[in-house]
Amino acid sequence: MQEERRHSAEQAARLNTAYAILKTPLSRARYLVRACAVGESHVMSHISPIGCLHQLYLHGASSTPQAEEDTSIDDPELLSDMLEAREEVAAAVGRPGTLRTIGTRVAGQLSACETDLRLAFAHNDIAQASKLTARLSYLTRLSEDISQNLHTAASTSQT
């Protein structure tokens, strides 16, 4: 009975870890790019989230590449876009309508980036997937910052 509980707890932990990695497009993309970089062929044969979840469950997330954040940006165009968008958001702080407009545009960019990322993985273009993952990371953080600014603006207007 004790062994059964231990085994069940281990399986639940593996499943929770796999789910956490696959929960968002960004962590999923990071995982897949890292897995491809170290030659985890069993991962690329199961690109779908369900396939990845199954592989993570079978092989254990501890033996797979971590879905860590790469903080370096070596794409000058992405860096320029990031700086410009940050300036635009900073200038819009305190103007919820403008922030919502920017947020809508960023949401569209996120969606397009996720689509491009799926295509890159489908074509096994890991170099492009890696670049798109960096872009997705930037767009995700930008979207989170916009949401935070909108939340702050809403909280301030209620007081």
pLDDT in tens, 51-110: 555 555 555 554 444 444 554 567 888 899 999 999 999 999 989 999 999 999 999 999
Q: What is the pLDDT of residue 16?
A: 85
pLDDT tens-digit series, residues 98-153: 999 999 999 999 999 999 999 998 888 889 999 999 999 999 999 999 999 999 88
Domain extent listing, the chain: 2-63, 76-158
CATH code of domain 76-158: 1.20.1280.20
18: Cβ contacts below 8 Å, ≥ 6 apart: 52, 53, 56, 57, 61
For 27, 40, 128, 159, the CA distances from 11, given in Å and listed in that order, are: 21, 21, 34, 47
Q: What is the pLDDT of residue 107?
A: 97
Tokens of 4: 């059964």
32: Cβ contacts below 8 Å, ≥ 6 apart: 43, 44, 47, 52, 121, 129
pLDDT of 6 over the 70 cut: yes
Instruction: Report the phi/psi class of residue 20: left, alpha or beta, with left for phi > 0 and alpha for psi in -120 to 50.
Output: alpha
Using DSSP's 3-state secondary structure scheme, residue 105 falls into helix
